[in-house]
Chain A
Amino acid sequence: MDWLTKLMSLDRRYIFLFVAIGTALPILFPIGFKVSITPPVRNIYDKVESLGPEDVVMFSFDYGPSTSPENDPMADATLRHCLSRGIKVIVIALYPVGGVTMADQSLSRVLADFPQVRRGIDYVHLGYKSGSQATMKQMGESMAAVFPTDRYGTPLEEIPLMKRVRNYDDMRLVVSFATGIIGEWWANLINAQFHVPIAVGCTAVSAPKYYAYLNSGQMIGLLGGLKGASEYEKLLIDHYPDARATYDRAGLYTAIKGMDAQTVIHTVILVFIILGNVAFLAGRGKR
Chain B
Amino acid sequence: MAIQIDTGDQANVDRSPRGEAVISVKEQMQAWRNADLFFFPLISILIGGAAVFLCALTVGDWSYWMDWRDRRWWPLLTPLLLLALPAVATYAFWRYFKLPVAATGLALGFWLSQIVSRYVNFHVFTAFPMNWVMPEVWIGAAVVLDAVLLITRSFALTGLVGGMLFGLLFSAMNWPVVAPMHMPVQLGDTVMTLADYMGFQYIRTAMPEYVRIIEAGTLRTFGTHVAPVSAFVSGFFAILVYYVFVWIGSKGSRPSWLGKLV
A and B pair up: no
Interface residues of A (CB under 8 A from B): none
